[in-house]
Structures are given as C-alpha cells and as structure tokens.
Structure 1
Amino acid sequence: MSINGCIRCLSVILLCFLLIRCAPEKAQNLEYSSVLESLVNQEDTDGDKKITIDDKGPKKFEFIDKNGESHNIEGTYYLSNLLQELAIVAKDDTISIERITEAPSARISRLIKTRFWDNLTRSIDKNGLEKVLEDTKSDTDTLRLYIPFDDKDAIRYFQSLTKEYKKLKVVILPKKITPEYVKTLNSKPGILNLAHTKQDENYQGIPFVVPGGRFNEMYGWDSYFESVGLLIDDREDLAMAMADNFAYQIKHYGKILNANRSYYLTRTQPPFFSSLLVEIYQENPQVSKDWLASNLKMVIKEYETVWMKNGVRLTNTGLNRFYGEGIGMPPETEEGHFDFILKEFAAKHKLDLDTFKNMYQKGEIIDEELSQYFIHDRSMRESGHDTSNRLDDICADLNTVGLNSLLYKYEIDIAYLIKNVFEDSFEIDDKQYTSQLWLKQAEKRKGLMNTLMWNEEKGSFYDYNFSAQNQTQIESATNYYPLWVGICTQDQANRLVDNLFENLVQKGGIASTTDISNTASVDAPQRQWDYPNGWAPHQMLIWRGLHNYGFASQNQELVYRWLWMITKNAVNYNGTIPEKYDVVQCTHKVYAEYGNVGTEFDYITPSGFGWMNASYQLGMSFLNNELKEKLNKLTDPDEIFNKRNQ
C-alpha cells in the first residue's frame, strides 16, 4: 500500500474511533462506521477527507441501511452528501436518504440556517472562553484577554477564572489608548472583551458571529452582512446581540473595531451600525424602544466622534476618508507581505532587507516616506478592502464613494428612526436631535458627492483624491453603493447600471474591480480585493440597490450568476462555502494573499463562511421560482442571459 493509502486508512480509523467515543449510548449507529470506511477508501482517492470532482473513484456506491434497504448512490454531489451525513451520524438516529438526494440550493440553505450560524457563534465568558481564546495567530502559550479599565464586572469575573484557566492572562487596558501604547501590544496579542449581561452574579457574554475558519473574533462590517442572513433565518436574537456588541465597542474602545483583537485598537471598519438597527426595527417594529434608544445613542456617538472629527476622518472637502491610526507595519500580515516595498527602502538606506526591517520596527530608522505608506496601508485595511491596488499607497488621500455613501445612509437612517420611533425628538445629554437636522446633513453630503465624485461624461461615481483634487476613475464595485443608499437620480441609476454590466459583471457575478494588477513589481502580492475576485458584500449591496431602483431583470441575473457559482462549487467540492471566489473562472480556487478561508475541513464544512452564507440566503429571497429550478439543475447562466466576458 502507498504512503497516501496508509494515511487515508489511519484517518478513517481515527474518525471511526471518534464517532464511537462521541456517541457510545447510540450503539445502533456504529454499523455506519464500516460504511464510512468503505466509502472513503473507494471514493476519496486524493485523501483530502472530501469527495470532489477531483477524485478518481467510480462515483458509484451501494450501502444497506439499518432497515435492510439497499441504496445505490451515484455522482459526486450525492456521494459527498452521503459522506457528510455519515460524518454526523453519531448525532442522528438514521441516515436520511432524503437529505442525500436533497436539491442543492435547499441543502445549502438548510445547512446555513440549522448548522452554520450556530457553529459560527461565540461568546466571551466561561462557556465560550476556550474557543474564543484559541489563538492560531499567536505563537505563545499565554492566552490574553484585554478588558477596558472601566468594565469592573468583567475585570472581577475574568480574574476569578485565572485560577481555573492557567494560560489565561487578564490585562486591563489604560483609560487612554494611544497608537504608541497599541504598538507595545504587537508582541503580546490577545482578544478584546465584548458585551455581557450580569444578573444575580451570573455573568454571560453576549454572543457574536465570527466570519469562519481560523477567526474567533468579531469583525466590523462582516457582522452587519452576517446579520442580514441572521434576520432572514429568524435569528433576530443574534442580530440584536451583534448590535449590542457594536455599542460596547463604541462605549469602551471609542469605535467599532476592525475586529476585537489587540492590534486593531486604532482601526475601525466601514460603518453599518445604523443599517443594522433599521433592519432589526423593520423586521420587528415591536422591538424594545429602550433598546433602540440605547443603541441609537451609540450610532450618533460613533458618527460624531469617529467620522466627523476634523483632520482625522473628516477632510477639508466636507467628505470623509478612512484613516487607520497606528505606528509601523501592521502586525497581522503574513510574513514577507511587505517585502516588495521594503526592498526599495532597504536599498535606499544601504541595508539588507532583514536588517532594515528589524531596525525600522524598533524605531531605529525613521523614514517619513515609508511611514506615509503604512498610513495608507492601515487606512486601506480600515476600509475592509485589505488589500486592493485601488487603495494601496493612496487610501488616506481619498474621499471614497463607498464610505461617503455609508455615512449618507447613517444620516437618513438616524432621521428615519428619530421620526418613526421617537416622535421626531431624540435627546442625548440635553442635546435635542430632530429628523430634519439629519436630513439636512444628508442633502449636504449628497451635493458634495455629486460635485466631487459624479462624472457626467462617464456616467459613474469615482473616489475623489482631495490631495490631488481629481477623481481616480478606477472601476470598482464600491462605486455602486449610491444605488443602495438612494443618492442617485433615476437617470444616474440608469447610467450606473449600464456601466456595471459593461465593466464589472462576469460569469459568476460582480468583480471587485476591473483588472488593476500592479505590474510595477513582480514581487507585489496578488491583491485579494481586486479582479478577478468577487465578494459577498458587494453583491448584496448592489442587489438591494438594483431592487430599490426597479431593475428587476438585471437583479435576477446578478443574483443567479452568484448563486450558481456558489452552488456549482458546493456540488463539485463537498459542500465548500468559502470566503471569496474568482468570478471569471467561477471557482473557489483563488490564488491571492491570505488564501481562501472556508476551504479546509474534514468530511463536512462546519460553518461555511459568514457573509457568504448571508449572501446565499439573501439571494434565495430574491430569486424567482423559475430560476430556482434552473439553479438546482446547475444551468449555465450564459445559457439563460447574455454571455459575459470569459
């Protein structure tokens, strides 16, 4: 037997042992362990603990169930479903033939609703501590939990747990958190505490949903898109919990963080808190008025103190930018990520690369040009688009269409909630707010965006470089956020949609950008937020924008293209639901920085990927029945719609 064959056999034996250990009380299930072993030996020819189109088995398997009935399973999709059901049989009484033969879209949607959301849910308390503090991004045995100086309940609670959890180290943050302080934490990374409840000495962390895979922290804009899926799947409880965690971060850390990890303390993310509140209210108008009031206060605080602070994220144009504060290289990047740029500076200082990096990180070399590069880089990461050639070495100089669209929506959302929930009067610290105040601010922003960002000749919005005083004129999915937030006239919307289909729509959906690859350096990373990749948040916002402006047929096409690509990959690759896709080749096999989270699992994906799950549920809510039937048959979108660029 080959080495690979031995490894496969050992893997099967180990899985069978775990199944027996996990469910000894269900001895009647143990007969399926031999079925699993036979299936894997026959069909998993590449030994990756999945059955995919890359395997070379006969793609035909017969087994006998507990009732003595024989079943013949044929084809990659059905065999991988059988593998998945066998992997979870210890928790079920029987193998369900109906689930093995389930229509692909129904199976994906069901697993998202009943399995994936729960598997992605975390809480920072005793029950959730071990999972949350599993720090695959740290090479030390110490598990650090950073707690705000004024969260006395959390400090007492977690300090009491240090006797039980010897690796747990509780660190109390200072009252004032500066970039200089945050830099000192780079060698001592850890998780930042989140919201909680406390009743009768019973401390419970308020749950949150993580993106997936290696992540055990709550990410900023991911959380909004995940909440869209949660609300569709009747998980209002988790969507409200996400809002509470947003509010905690604003109260204690001054902003909604890039993620609740120590090295993100100086960075926020694209603002979606107002959208989350409005959608929770619209889903349930009977939601507690007190709850809405407490969270709306935090939305307004974030708007005023994070986004509208002169000289930081508010610029002299009256529009906003991303501005990630911090010092030195962002510590979360992969080893060697910046080598393509650092080589130039090492040569400038007549040093070898490693010596230069070491001295720069220690502050022994000060280079203003390089420091400015990292200001742009951290700002790009704050934008959520980490990374893109659209923003590299320029981000902090841009009033972006995306950010200013989102802040316009903050203004109209706040006005909507004040008018509809609080009878057009909302008070914070003796200051009165009315809907008209916020609508006036929104109109001002719309005017500035039309003046500086709208290009009449091209019929599109573009990011505005306030330093150079010109538009960047790069085609990006974020240029179409005005459709979602309602800034456009109908004529502008018509022209935007024409441009969208001309420039960004590919066979598998909307690409993040046109091809803006950096050809200046062969060492430059393949930016994951650029062509040919497509991402769930862009699809979701543009779908809703098309819906808002009455582009029904165009919306159906774009939803179908995206869902077809997800479904096709899941059918061919053992249910894989990853972080991102190449929408040109229509594959999850993406060769870019950071890989593709959600593709590594054994037998059955436990959780998919957060906003990808949400995009599937939202897409299914849009798609008409005729196209749903075609989706389950995996009908090529180019057979239904006009053929896109290949």
Structure 2
Amino acid sequence: MKYFLLGGVLALASTAAAQRPASPAQNAATVKLPGSLSMPTLPTPRQLYPGLFEAVQLNRVYADNKTFVDVLPTAPPAEIVAAYERQRSQPGFDLKTFVGQYFKPPVAATDVYRSNVQAGIRAHLDTLWTVLRRPGQAEAAQYSSLLPLPRPYLVPGGRFREIYYWDSYFTMLGLRQAGRTALLRDMVANFAYLIDRYGHVPNGSRTYYLTRSQPPFFALMVQLLAQAEGPGSQAVQQFRPQLKLEYAYWTSGGDKLQPGTAAGRTVRMPGGEPLSRYWDDSDQPREESYREDVEAAKKSKQPAPVFNRNVRAAAASGWDFSSRWFVPGKGLETIRTTSLVPVDLNCLLLTLEQTLGTAARQAGDSTEAKQFRQAGQARAAAIRKYCWDAKAGFYVDYDLPQRRPSPVHTLAGAFPLAFGVATPDQAKKVASHLQNEFLRPGGLLTTTNPSGQQWDAPNAWAPLEYLSIVGLRRYQQTALADTVAHRWTRLNVRVFNQTGKLLEKYNVENTGLLAGGGEYPLQDGFGWTNGVLLTLLNEEKKAVK
C-alpha cells in the first residue's frame, strides 16, 4: 500500500488498527512528562517602543503592519522612544519621516529574485532552495525581533522572512525529494533547538510569535529525516527529548480538568477523554497585525481580550482566517476558535504519541511504550467519538460549549484519513464528500464557504491538498487522489508559466484568477508550495514509468 511520505511510524498503523477498542481515557494522562520549565522571555517590538509602536501601526506608516515588527533600529530603542516623545508634539512633526530616520525596513529575497520561466519548473524549484535559504546565527542582530537559529534554514518567501512551524514540514518534503538531506537535518535540529530554548516551537522565529505555536508537525519532521537518512538513522532516538517536551506543551494539565471544560491548550471532553485545542498565551492584539485586530475587535460583541485570544488561536491553527472558526453564517466578529476542539490538531498529536511510543520501544522502555500506545488508542477513539458527524458522514471539529459536532465542513476533515483514524466505511463517506462538495478544476477547496477569508472558498493550499491526497491513497481512494494531484500540479505549473512564480495559495474554482482574501497581498516563493509540488511531480513521474 502506498502512503506517500507520511511513512515511518505513521505508516505502521493500518486502517484495521483504527478499529481496535480503546483503552480507558485516563490512560492518556499517565505518561511521564518533563516538568515545567522556566523559559526565557524576550521583549517584543511593542514592549521596546511603547507609544511609538501603537502610533506607527495604527497610522499605517507601513502598508503592512508586519513590516514594522521586522525592522532594525539605527539606535537603541530607549533613545528612539525618547526622541519620539520629544519631537512628536513639535510643529511639523512627520511620523513617517521619523520612522524612516530611525529604522531600516526588511527586504525579502523574493523581492529581488527573478525566475527564468524558460528553464522550466524543476530548475525553478531547484533554484528556490538557494533563494529561500538563510544561514544559521548564534545570535540575532541587536534589538531585532528575529530569533537566532544555530543552523541554516528555509523561509517561506515574500513577507515571511523567518522560519514558520507547519510550513516547514511541507518545505522539507521538497528537500527530501531534492536529496538535500543535510539541510533537512539542519531544519529539524533548529526546531529541536527552539523546543529546548522556549519549551515549544513558536508560530515563527520572531519574538512576537513566542506566545503560541502552530500545528505540531515536529514528529512528522523527525520521521521524514529518519526516512531520508535510511536504515540506521538515529533521528527518532536523538530527538526523543524534544518530542516529549512538545507533547507536554500540548497536553499537560488535562488530568486536572472537569469533563466538558478546557484550560489553555488542553480539553477534557464530556466523557472525560483528554484532547487538545489551539491557544495563544496572550490576549492582546497581534503585533504583526495590530491595526487589523484593534479595528476588528471594535466590531465584535466579545470583550476585546476574548476576541483577541480567539484571533490569536486561529493564527496558531495556521488557518488565519476561515469561517471554520466563526459562528456559522457570520463573520470574523464572531470568531470562537477556543470553543472548538480541532480534528486536525488531534490527529497530529496522535502521530506524536505513536512516534514517542516507537522511540520508547527502540530505547527498551516497554512501560512508556505501552503508555504512549494506550494514549494514542484513546485519542483515536475520542476523535472518532466526537469529531465524526454520523448524520453528515464527515469529520468535523467538535463544538465544546454546544456539545456537538460543528456543522461546518472543511478540508481538515481529511486528516483522519491521512493519519489512519477513520474506519474504512467512514473513509468512503469522506471521499464522497470531497468528490461532491470540495473538488474543483484546480483541486480541493479549503471550505465550501466563499466568505472572503483566505482559508475559505475559492482558495486552496498546498498542505491541505497534500494531506488529502495522502489520506485518500491510504484508504484506496486512488482515482480521486490522482485527480486531485493532477489538477493541483497542472494549476501550479500553469501559473508558474504565466507569472514566473509559485504562490502560497491558489484559486481552484476559477483557475484563471489569482487567490485573494487575507490581511496581506498574495505572496510568492513559496516554501510549502514548492515542497508539495516537487513531491507530487516526482510521484507522478514514478507512476508513469
């Protein structure tokens, strides 16, 4: 059976295993985890430039709020703030001129790179590994928001000038295909470094991202590295400590909750089962989207801290933003991310538990191996119990306050196929929904709701296309998987031939139009698109032979 590159530990779990009876739910909380760590805190741009920060962001000195949080100052922050306080009330003071005097804006490599369309898509992909590569740094530049990483790494491209968590796994798929195993190992080592230093992988390698993570793909990264290095790889054992820290970040504290309640990232389901949700430790407006959050909060009936937390949790999900997180039929002002138990997140934590079980077994720790095996079985059973909407025949998020599956259908419903949670009958029903509701000329829609948000119709994204294809193939839905892969690669290649670019997202409904929505212009580069495209092109090439 062909499972693509999710391989390793995940490929060992058959669809039959998904039907095994689960251990009691409390088994998931019996795994011994590292104690709480005292992690370093670093000042963010808002903390470095009080008053000035708010003025710059609210007055849109830069068209994109992310620009200011990535700038480098030409003088110490205290000196700049003092100068601002002295000058701002003087006649003729111009904020934009002041900022231009004291700060250097960032430049993205993709702003100056020009592709050679005539050389073809594969040559372009190979070149981009160099364009998007950044050297490791022992220390970041003084007063920079950039977090140092000891080894070289790849950025997504465009305004995304730093490493991003879940993006990087799909970029690494391309490194594996390109035979760049050394850089793949460097990337994994950088994520291990972040976990050791901060207790989790931040959303991105910036100080203003430290209060949240993103979909936890570290276990899959380690699996991918082990596959790339081949027999004898010690990757799973080497990164076992960081895998355990990652698990603690997402699951600790759940055993203290009452059924039907949540705290931070942990949830205790109505039946007592522990699952997880997306969360951000801050309830302030996001610094990189400060003006947008301040203005949006004014339109919401939620208290500003509650609204901000839900917005930040959606950013932690990677789906920022989508009607997935809204009251059905309503807009961003109703965002309620923290009220939902996400089906995709818990599938990812399942593979983390499976990977830790394998690591324990390899280390000869049969007790811990059993504990993680039981935890994984309990989580898989809970996903099936709470996230399967039997009436609709589709996997969805679970609405904790309403105590029922969410009525919103999204491509996150394909994750239980990719990670072997679904039963064979459930997989057939999910595939039918994907065929009838989501399939369009360019691939699979993210959701079927044309809300204007970037993680909704008519847009599609490489990571979701890839995992949907993997899931369909895992359950022998080969014809549909091949159709999705073919339509997606043809769209990517056609847009490249027309524009010379590979983009972060695509319009799969009207393939003659570029994707829209979101808080910023369409970005090119683009790390995860490159990695998924190269993987699918190589799979297609093998299938033809």
Give your verdict on TM over 0.5. Answer: yes
Indicate the residue corresponding to 1:246 in structure 2.
191
Indicate the residue corresponding to 2:464 in structure 1.
538
Q: Indicate how the Cα distance of structure 1 residues 233 and 408 shifts in structure 2: closer, same or farther if over 3 A, else same.
A: same
Task: Give a deviation string over 1:480-522, Cα, whole Å, max 9, x none.
Answer: 10111001111111111001111111110011101152xxxxx
Q: Indicate how the Cα distance of structure 1 residues 489 and 408 shifts in structure 2: closer, same or farther if over 3 A, else same.
A: same
Q: 2:514 aligns with which of 579, 589, 603?
A: 589
For the Cα contact (< 8 Å) 1:312–1:323, is it kept in 2?
Answer: yes
Indicate the residue corresponding to 1:45 in structure 2.
none
Q: Take 2:299 and 2:246, find their aligned partners in 1: how far apart are those partners? A: 39
Task: Give a deviation string over 1:339-372, Cα, whole Å, max 9, x none.
Answer: 2441467xxxxxxxxxxxxxxxxxxxxxx72211
Indicate the residue corresponding to 1:580 in structure 2.
505
Q: Indicate how the Cα distance of structure 1 residues 587 and 403 shifts in structure 2: closer, same or farther if over 3 A, else same.
A: farther
For the Cα contact (< 8 Å) 2:344–2:413, is it kept in 1?
Answer: yes
Matched, 1:408 2:350: yes
Q: Take 2:540 and 2:358, find their aligned partners in 1: how far apart are those partners? A: 29
For the Cα contact (< 8 Å) 2:393–2:430, is it kept in 1?
Answer: yes
Task: Give a deviation string over 1:599-625, Cα, whole Å, max 9, x none.
Answer: 5xxxxxxxx300000111121123257
Q: Take 1:281 and 1:496, find their aligned partners in 2: how far apart are those partners? A: 31
Q: 2:134 aligns with which of 100, 122, 144?
A: 122
- Give 1:111's aligned amino acid: H
The alignment's C-alpha RMSD in Å is 2.3
Q: Indicate how the Cα distance of structure 1 residues 616 and 514 shifts in structure 2: closer, same or farther if over 3 A, else same.
A: same
Instruction: Give runs of aligned pairs for residues 6-25 of structure 1, distance below 5 A.
Output: none
Q: Take 1:498 and 1:246, find their aligned partners in 2: how far apart are those partners? A: 37
Shift of 1:284: 2.2
Q: 1:621 aligns with which of 518, 523, 538?
A: 538
Q: Indicate how the Cα distance of structure 1 residues 374 and 314 shifts in structure 2: closer, same or farther if over 3 A, else same.
A: same
Q: 2:288 aligns with which of 323, 329, 332?
A: 332
Shift of 1:472: 1.1
Higher relative contact order (CA 8 A, sep 6+): 2
Q: Indicate how the Cα distance of structure 1 residues 344 and 269 shifts in structure 2: closer, same or farther if over 3 A, else same.
A: closer
Q: Take 1:190 and 1:594, find their aligned partners in 2: how far apart are those partners? A: 21
Q: Take 2:229 and 2:218, find their aligned partners in 1: how far apart are those partners? A: 17
Instruction: Give runs of aligned pairs for residues 16-415 of structure 1, distance below 5 A.
Output: 100=118, 107-113=120-126, 115-125=127-137, 154=138, 168-169=141-142, 190-194=145-149, 196=150, 206-286=151-231, 288-289=233-234, 291-310=235-254, 311-317=263-269, 318-333=274-289, 335-336=291-292, 338-343=294-299, 369-392=303-326, 393-415=335-357
Q: Take 2:377 and 2:360, find their aligned partners in 1: how far apart are those partners? A: 17
Q: Take 1:337 and 1:314, find their aligned partners in 2: how far apart are those partners? A: 25
Q: Indicate how the Cα distance of structure 1 residues 588 and 440 shifts in structure 2: closer, same or farther if over 3 A, else same.
A: farther
Task: Give a deviation string over 1:522-555, Cα, whole Å, max 9, x none.
Answer: xxxx311111100000011111111211222111
For the Cα contact (< 8 Å) 2:297–2:307, is it kept in 1?
Answer: no
For the Cα contact (< 8 Å) 2:132–2:157, is it kept in 1?
Answer: yes
Shift of 1:326: 0.6
For the Cα contact (< 8 Å) 1:578–1:596, is it kept in 2?
Answer: no
- Give 2:278's aligned amino acid: F
Q: Indicate how the Cα distance of structure 1 residues 219 and 613 shifts in structure 2: closer, same or farther if over 3 A, else same.
A: same
Q: 2:455 aligns with which of 519, 529, 537?
A: 529
Q: Take 1:481 and 1:301, find their aligned partners in 2: how far apart are those partners? A: 23
Q: Take 1:433 and 1:321, find their aligned partners in 2: how far apart are those partners? A: 24
**Partner SS for 2:239:** helix
- Give 1:490's aligned amino acid: P
- Give 1:548's aligned amino acid: R
**Partner SS for 2:246:** helix
**Partner SS for 1:590:** coil
Tell which structure's C-alpha radius of gyration is larger.
Answer: 1
**Partner SS for 2:283:** coil
Task: Give a deviation string over 1:93-124, Cα, whole Å, max 9, x none.
Answer: xxxxxx94x6xxxx2123212x1111111124
For the Cα contact (< 8 Å) 1:590–1:596, is it kept in 2?
Answer: no
**Partner SS for 1:319:** strand
Between Structure 1 and Structure 2, which shows a larger proportion of helix residues? 2
Q: Structure 2 unaligned segments of length 5 or more: list them.
A: 1-113, 255-262, 327-334
Indicate the residue corresponding to 1:425 in structure 2.
365
Q: Take 1:493 and 1:556, find their aligned partners in 2: how far apart are those partners? A: 16
For the Cα contact (< 8 Å) 1:258–1:269, is it kept in 2?
Answer: yes
Indicate the residue corresponding to 1:41 in structure 2.
none
Indicate the residue corresponding to 1:56 in structure 2.
none
Q: Indicate how the Cα distance of structure 1 residues 488 and 503 shifts in structure 2: closer, same or farther if over 3 A, else same.
A: same
- Give 1:549's aligned amino acid: Y
- Give 1:402's aligned amino acid: D
Task: Give a deviation string over 1:297-341, Cα, whole Å, max 9, x none.
Answer: 101111023333332211121111001111321111164455244
For the Cα contact (< 8 Å) 1:124–1:207, is it kept in 2?
Answer: yes
- Give 2:419's aligned amino acid: V
Indicate the residue corresponding to 1:511 in structure 2.
445
Q: Take 1:528 and 1:224, find their aligned partners in 2: how far apart are those partners? A: 21
Shift of 1:398: 0.9
Indicate the residue corresponding to 1:610 in structure 2.
527
- Give 1:319's aligned amino acid: L
Indicate the residue corresponding to 2:329 in structure 1.
none
**Partner SS for 1:192:** coil
Shift of 1:563: 0.7
Indicate the residue corresponding to 1:639 in structure 2.
none
Shift of 1:292: 3.7
For the Cα contact (< 8 Å) 1:334–1:594, is it kept in 2?
Answer: no
Shift of 1:293: 2.4
Q: Take 1:446 and 1:378, find their aligned partners in 2: how far apart are those partners? A: 27
For the Cα contact (< 8 Å) 1:576–1:598, is it kept in 2?
Answer: no
Q: Indicate how the Cα distance of structure 1 residues 626 and 278 shifts in structure 2: closer, same or farther if over 3 A, else same.
A: closer
- Give 2:250's aligned amino acid: V
Task: Give a deviation string over 1:53-95, Cα, whole Å, max 9, x none.
Answer: xxxxxxxxxxxxxxxxxxxxxxxxxxxxxx955xxxxxxxxxx
- Give 1:475's aligned amino acid: H
Indicate the residue corresponding to 1:461 in structure 2.
395
Q: Structure 1 unaligned segments of length 5 or more: list them.
A: 1-82, 86-98, 126-153, 159-167, 171-188, 197-205, 346-367, 427-431, 518-525, 600-607, 629-646
